[in-house]
Amino acid sequence: MSPHLRLWQLIAAFAAVHLVSALGSLALSYTLVMSRFDAAVFVEPSIVERVATGASEVLFEPASSILGVLGPRSHASFVQWFAVGCNSLLWGLGLALVFWRLTRRSTRTPTGGASPPPSGQATLVR
């Protein structure tokens, strides 16, 4: 398999995981906040609610900042979904590049080190 094809597959996989994680954390956060909304007495947010809210805030960046700068005309449904999709692709690209770089085998020799043996059959001399 081509290294570039593998990179594109990684980008798609990380983008999909990001999208599911972002929407899942948003849905969980919204559900937990709304369950406290109609309470007659103030109820402190749970740790799960705080974690889900924080995760959704982080995972929707930089799209939420960009939409905030664009103003009210960015509140169209298509623009928001486009921003969410592009945001997930951006996160997928970043995560895939980091993953690809960390798992790629280095072909360079360390500075000052010996060069690797040539490929092929090795002969042992005693």
Domain-located, residue 76: yes
Domain-located, residue 111: no
Domain-located, residue 31: yes
Q: What is the pLDDT of residue 112?
A: 60
pLDDT tens sequence across 5-62: 888 999 999 999 999 999 999 999 999 988 888 777 888 889 999 999 999 999 999 9
DSSP 108: S
Structural domain containing residue 36 = 3-103
Domain-located, residue 23: yes
> Is a pLDDT exceeding 70 seen at residue 124?
no
pLDDT tens sequence across 63-92: 988 888 888 776 778 888 898 999 999 999
Q: What is the pLDDT of residue 110?
A: 59
3-state helix/strand/coil string of the chain: CCHHHHHHHHHHHHHHHHHHHHHHHHHHHHHHHHHHHCCCCCCCCCHHHHHHHHHHHHHCCCHHHHHHHHCHHHHCHHHHHHHHHHHHHHHHHHHHHHHHHHHCCCCCCCCCCCCCCCCCCCCCCC
* The total number of structural domains that make up the chain: 1
> Is a pLDDT exceeding 60 seen at residue 109?
no
